[in-house]
Amino acid sequence: MLITMDEFTIQETRKFPQATGDLSALLRDIGLAGKIINNQVRKAGLVDILGKHGATNVQGEEQMKLDIFANETLIKILKSSSECAGIASEENDDHLPYEDAYSTQAKYVVLFDPLDGSSNIDVNASIGTIFAIYKRVSPVGTPCTQEDFLQPGNKQIAAGYIIYGSSTMMVYATRLGVNGFTLEPSIGEFCLSHPNMKCPENGNIYSINQGNSVKYSEGMLAYVNYCMESNKEEGRPYRQRYIGSMVADMHRTLIKGGIFIYPGDKSSPNGKLRLQYECNPMALIMEAAGGKSVDGANNTLEIVPTELHQRCPIFTGSKNMVKKAMEFVK
Ligand code: AHG
Ligand code: MN
Ligand code: MN
């Protein structure tokens, strides 16, 4: 018997008598945006959606047509959701308050990376959407403000991703745990397929862009050497896997265990990935699944953001692998 994501979240919220069901409505809206984006992704190559859009985003990165489509879809759907007071997106310079009468009454704000893994769009590899939900700190009844979007990751109410892979899945975490839902195309619903996901405590896959190793710190280089040399010793044969879509690399890490790293290096001390759109949501998922996530010294979820688009190094995945890596880079 299939359980749809909607049925599941409603059942979960019923465990808390004071819950109003707003969060399930918001997750449903994000899921709807995911289905619309998925629909375009599945036609990529047939319709004119591949390739560059011709502009750069606030981070100076080239925007692809699908980046723009995904961004606009999420912005539009969340605007008509009565549960979202405003959004911040990797593709927009500033946060965007929704100023209509319904939205200003909403309790939540959403931050997202609308299309993660842009460089993989044109080559038909897995890409995704990442989102984080926070309860606003500004007063309900007024437009949301920048401080709503600068809360540390441990204030996330829920976070998740949609992966457009060999199948399409939505995975989300709350403090209660992590659950995965596969899109059943014939009914157009995400259905529970991966209940109570747990990241194995140990793993044997390390996932990092090793092409950057000339720029690594000594500690980072030593850890990568430790991973490479592991095949010489019995008992810890490590393998390297790196797709270059964080969502895809993290989905594998969550299911199979392992470590995903995007470190700071000599030219980019804070690495590449964005704290608010990529690191925090993935860190919440990992922690709720029993894994661990740090920036090299501190727990990712404890970092207090100072600006919307700030970058942050990340080491995340199987608890024991992250701890081992820390011994090298601390
Ligand atoms: P985005 O497509 O949203 O800009 O994110 C790309 C990110 C992330 O998905 C991936 O892990 C990382 O960039 C890969 O970067 P490198 O090519 O530098 O390894
Ligand atoms: Mn991304
Ligand atoms: Mn992106």
Per-residue pLDDT of the chain (330 residues; tens, 9 = 90+): 899 999 999 988 888 777 778 899 999 999 999 999 999 999 877 777 777 777 787 777 777 889 999 999 999 999 999 899 999 999 999 999 999 999 999 999 999 999 999 889 889 999 999 999 999 999 999 999 999 999 999 999 999 999 999 999 999 999 889 999 999 999 999 999 999 999 999 999 999 999 999 999 999 999 999 999 887 666 668 999 999 999 999 999 999 999 999 999 999 999 999 999 999 999 999 999 999 999 999 999 999 999 999 999 999 999 999 999 999 998
218: phi then psi, degrees, rounded to nearest 5: -60, -45
Give me the half-sphere count of Cα atoms (radius 13 Å) on the Cβ side of residue 320. Answer: 8
Instruction: Give the pLDDT of residue 191.
Output: 98
Question: Among all ligands shown, which has an atom nearest to the Cα of 248?
Answer: 1
Residues with CB under 5 A from ligand 3 (ion): 90, 113, 115-116
Instruction: Give the pLDDT of residue 330.
Output: 85
User: Residue type at 237?
Assistant: P
Q: Which three-class secondary structure state does DSSP give residue 86?
A: strand
Candidates 89, 118, 246: which one to mutate for ligand 1, based on the most atoms within 8 Å of Cβ?
246
**52 in Cβ contact with 39 (< 8 Å):** no
292: phi then psi, degrees, rounded to nearest 5: -145, 155
Of ligand 1's atoms, which has the minimum distance to the CA of residue 118?
A: 2
Query: From ligand 2's centre to the CA of 238, what distance in Å?
Result: 26
* Among the listed residues 176, 89, 173, the one whose alpha carbon sits nearest the alpha carbon of residue 129: 89
Candidates 68, 116, 315: which one to mutate for ligand 1, based on the most atoms within 8 Å of Cβ?
116
Of ligand 1's atoms, which has the minimum distance to the CA of residue 115?
A: 3
Query: From ligand 2's centre to the CA of 86, what distance in Å?
Result: 20
Indicate if ligand 1 lies below 6 Å from the C-beta of 272.
yes
Residues 6+ apart with CB under 8 A from 17: none
Indicate if ligand 1 lies below 6 Å from the C-beta of 244.
yes
CATH number of the domain located at residue range(s) 205-329 in this protein? 3.40.190.80
Q: Where do the domains of the chain lie?
A: 5-194, 205-329
In terms of C-beta density within 10 A (0-12 exposed, 13-18 middle, 19 or more buried), how is residue 25 classed?
Answer: middle
In terms of C-beta density within 10 A (0-12 exposed, 13-18 middle, 19 or more buried), how is residue 173 classed?
Answer: buried
What residue spans of 95-245 are helical by DSSP H? 101-104, 218-229
* Among the listed residues 306, 293, 301, the one whose alpha carbon sits nearest the alpha carbon of residue 262: 293
> Do the first three CATH levels of 5-194 and 205-329 match, i.e. the same topology?
no
Query: From ligand 1's centre to the CA of 48, what distance in Å?
Result: 23
Candidates 64, 209, 240: which one to mutate for ligand 1, based on the most atoms within 8 Å of Cβ?
209
* Among the listed residues 194, 134, 181, 185, the one whose alpha carbon sits nearest the alpha carbon of residue 7: 181
Domain 5-194 classification at class level: alpha beta
Of ligand 1's atoms, which has the minimum distance to the CA of residue 113?
A: 3
Indicate if ligand 1 lies below 6 Å from the C-beta of 263.
no
Dmax (CA) for the chain in angstroms is: 64
pTM confidence score: 0.96
- Check residue 278 and report its DSSP letter: I
CA angle 296, 268, 212 (to 5 degrees): 85
Indicate if ligand 1 lies below 6 Å from the C-beta of 118.
yes
